[in-house]
Chains A and B, each alone.
Chain A
Amino acid sequence: GESVGLHLPTLSVQEGDNSIINCAYSNSASDYFIWYKQESGKGPQFIIDIRSNMDKRQGQRVTVLLNKTVKHLSLQIAATQPGDSAVYFCAEAPGSGGSNYKLTFGKGTLLTVNP
């Protein structure tokens, strides 16, 4: 039978295309959101963050969009490269400082970039 939790959502793109990875979060009180990249055999690596008073934030080749109305977060990667292949996690926290930095992680999306 199928094992719950072992099948990550997957996204396969061609090198040079733009990628969009989506995440639905659960807590309307969440104030802080982070995207992480986890390559095989490594710990999660911080990509970009955004606070609830913003709806868009840009970094180098990445953009995070936040829609609080529908509790949706997305990560856009421009000109995706083979080195972007990894599992991407969103995480949410209720606020800033102290125990409010307890992160709740989403399920993760496996991004595969085809050369």
Chain B
Amino acid sequence: SAVISQKPSRDICQRGTSLTIQCQVDSQVTMMFWYRQQPGQSLTLIATANQGSEATYESGFVIDKFPISRPNLTFSTLTVSNMSPEDSSIYLCSVGGTQYFGPGTRLLVL
């Protein structure tokens, strides 16, 4: 299994600002996934990030709102842009076919 860390673990942000979330894996992986978990709800896939190519976004998510970087096989970032209170969620990265998850970033937008 992979060990995944995320930074920050939590943050409180003002509306209109942006936050970049980092995901670090202890081994090289081809695919990384970013999910959103709104309060009390299940997980929804935002996008799939492969190293060396642009991220693939799911329906309802766009690159301008959630730009993703994947500079190497152990690291990825997700930016939540121009935030509103509706963006308050837990953001999680995962790796691998079985999909091991990071601890999540808890975001509150005021």
Using CB atoms and an 8 Å cutoff, list the residues of chain A in contact with chain B. Answer: 5-8, 32, 34, 36, 42-46, 49, 89, 91, 96-99, 101-108
- Residue B19 at the A interface, CB < 8 A? no
Contact of B92 among A43, A49, A101 (CB under 8 A): A43
Given contacts A5-B41, A34-B98, A105-B42, 12 further A-B contacts (CB under 8 A): A5-B40, A6-B40, A44-B43, A45-B101, A98-B31, A99-B48, A99-B56, A101-B31, A102-B48, A102-B58, A103-B45, A103-B99
Contact of B99 among A46, A107, A108 (CB under 8 A): A46
Inter-chain contact B98/A107, CB cutoff 8 Å: no
Q: Count chain B residues whose beta carbon lies closer than 8 angstroms to a beta carbon of A.
A: 25
Interface mask (B32-49 → A, CB under 8 Å = 1, otherwise 0): 010000111111110010
CB A60 to nearest CB in B, in angstroms, measures 15
Q: With a CB–CB cut-off of 8 A, which chain A residues contact B1?
A: 46
Q: With a CB–CB cut-off of 8 A, which chain A residues contact B101?
A: 36, 43-45
CA distance A98 to B56 in the complex (A): 12
Using CB atoms and an 8 Å cutoff, list the residues of chain B in contact with chain A. Answer: 1, 4, 31, 33, 38-45, 48, 56, 58, 92, 94, 97-104
CA distance A45 to B42 in the complex (A): 14
Q: With a CB–CB cut-off of 8 A, which chain B residues contact A6?
A: 39-41
Q: With a CB–CB cut-off of 8 A, which chain B residues contact A43?
A: 4, 92, 94, 101-104
CA distance A15 to B102 in the complex (A): 29
Q: With a CB–CB cut-off of 8 A, which chain B residues contact A103?
A: 33, 43, 45, 99
